[in-house]
Structure 1
Amino acid sequence: MAKRAMTNEAKALKAQSILDKAVELFTSYDYEQIKMSDIAKEMNMSKGILFVYFKTKESLFFHLLTREYEKRLQHLMNMIIETRINNEDDFKQLVMKELIELVDHNPLYIRLESIRTSVLEKNIDAEVMLELKSGLYNKMIIMTNLLCDSGIVTEAAVMDIFQAEASIITGCKLSATLPNEVIEIIERNGMHGFKRDFKADVMDTMSYYLDGYFQGRR
């Protein structure tokens, strides 16, 4: 009997299960240490089948980042609906609250965002990236419109702020990530002042940025 072709729904579910397996590996290993063959092995499938779903490792992880960003946008929209934004301070508190939730509860998103421009977008197929970004952009517009309903910020301001936030996350993550041998030297010699606190750095930098941004608009 001929094997029945998979439905589009079944293919979508399989793609999601592949992404779930990549998350498991990414929890224990750095991006550079993970190979497509590792993911295929964990999924009990051939590399050839895996490449049917994701042509490259960059594409797979960019899909994963897109999935996390969609979850983030939905959560942020829920926060906006539940929040009264009457002034710039209210807007800042909303942004900072959502950011601290990301830092404290979504290390997967933080790690993916920190390699987005330097690794994923550099190597992913342009057509795939455009398709995924277009979907995100549409959701971003919905979120932006919710924020702009307050009359406190404009669409351009929201885009500026969230692009800056992404850069701040990336920069602070890179400065806080030291090679193991460097960490050992720091700890052995009691040079704890050389260690960076990612959470403190990203929150302080974002707070300063928002203060400066709004002051510059007045």
Structure 2
Amino acid sequence: MFKMGNAMTTNQKLEKSAQIAQAALQLFKERAFDEITMAQIAKRAGVAKGTLFNYYQSKENIFMNLLLTGYQTYFSELARRVKQLGQLSLPDFKRLMLQETTTLIEDHAVLLRLNALRGPILERKADKAQTIVGRQKLYDISQQLSQDIAQRVDCLSTETINHLFVTQSAIISGLMNLSGLEQFDHEQIPVGLFDFQVAVEPEARQIFGLYMTGLFKEQKADD
């Protein structure tokens, strides 16, 4: 017979879901995605495997949730910092975006690793409906952030700023994907492939900086 005393409140369910997600995140910091199993996640979270499946139907679902909520948190934190700023010139805004490029690479490496898995791996088995809801929330946060920035940078539109965040992500992801060409399975290839080595942070800043310089010149020309 079902007992009301055993029923979990909404907050308790959210806490349990977050507990499971954090356990998966800790495992992801220690090993590759394909080495992680649902059984390992359940054990790390301290829950039964059956309980785990009540919250997430696949590990792809867990990590897609971590990816989307991770970016939601990052953009929300950036929005709070932006609200403390006054008006920004284009050079000021460029410096801000380059600093955020460094922040993403140095302080959010796990989030960037997850982002690299999104298209080729996570979307295969992640729940489509939940992913759409998560993306809509991320879009709304990003849109508000871009609007706040546009109010401080006179000559840039919300659309342009949104586009810059997408471009920033593409540059970082592309460089991260290419950063291991001189290695195989994390071991150095014993031949001279030194020109394949990629320094992600400085090269991302350089490429993104050049892109913004060209874009801002076009903006001024159009004005």
Q: After TM superposition, is the score higher than 0.5?
A: yes
Give the 3 Å change call, closer, same or farther, for CA 169–121 of structure 1 in structure 2: farther
Query: What residue in structure 1 maps to residue 30 of structure 2?
Result: 28
Q: Which runs of 5+ in 1 are unaligned?
A: none
Identify the residue that residue 83 of structure 2 maps to in structure 1: 81
Match of 1:13 among 3, 12, 15: 15
State the partner residue of 1:68: 70
Distance 1:181 1:122 in 2: 23
Counting only pairs closer than 5 Å after superposition, residues 55-134 of structure 1 correspond to structure 2 as 55-134=57-136
* Maintained 8 Å contact 2:150/2:156: yes
Deviates more, 1:136-145 or 1:172-181: 172-181
Partner SS, residue 156 of structure 2: coil
Q: Give SS of 1:82's match.
A: coil
CA drift at 1:146 = 0.6
Q: Distance in 1 between matches of 2:31 and 2:115?
A: 16
Partners of 1:160 and 1:122 lie apart in 2 by 26
Choose from 159, 163, 170 the match for 1:160: 163
Do residues 184 (structure 1) and 184 (structure 2) align? Answer: no
Distance 2:38 2:87 in 1: 45
Segments of structure 2 that go 5 or more residues without pairing to the other structure are none
Deviation at 1:112, TM superposition (A): 1.4
Question: What one-letter code is carried by the residue in structure 1 that aligns with 2:168?
Answer: E
Give CA-to-partner distance per residue, 1:11-44, whole Å, 9 cap, x none. 1001111111111101110111111121012223
* Shift of residue 81, structure 1, vs aligned partner: 1.8
Q: Which whole-Å CA distance do the structure 1 matches of 2:180 and 2:172 have between them?
A: 12
Whole-Å separation in 2 of the counterparts to 1:205 and 1:30: 28
Residue number among 143, 146, 156 corresponding to 1:144 in the alignment: 146
Q: Which digits, 9 at most, give the CA deviation of each residue in 1:90-113, with x for residues without a partner?
A: 111111111111111121112112
Provide Cα deviations, 1:63-100, integer angstroms capped at 9, x if missing partner.
11122112211221122123334321111111111111
Against the structure 1 CA distance between its residues 41 and 182, is the aligned structure 2 distance closer, same or farther, given a 3 Å change threshold? closer
Query: Over aligned residues, Cα RMSD in angstroms?
Result: 2.0
Give the share of equivalent positions with the same residue, in percent: 24
CA shift for structure 1 position 123: 3.5
TM-score of the two chains, using structure 2 as the length reference: 0.88
1:194 aligns with 196
Q: Please identify runs of 4+ aligned residues in structure 1 that moved more than 3 A.
A: 178-183, 189-193
Please give the TM-score of this superposition, normalised by the length of structure 1: 0.89
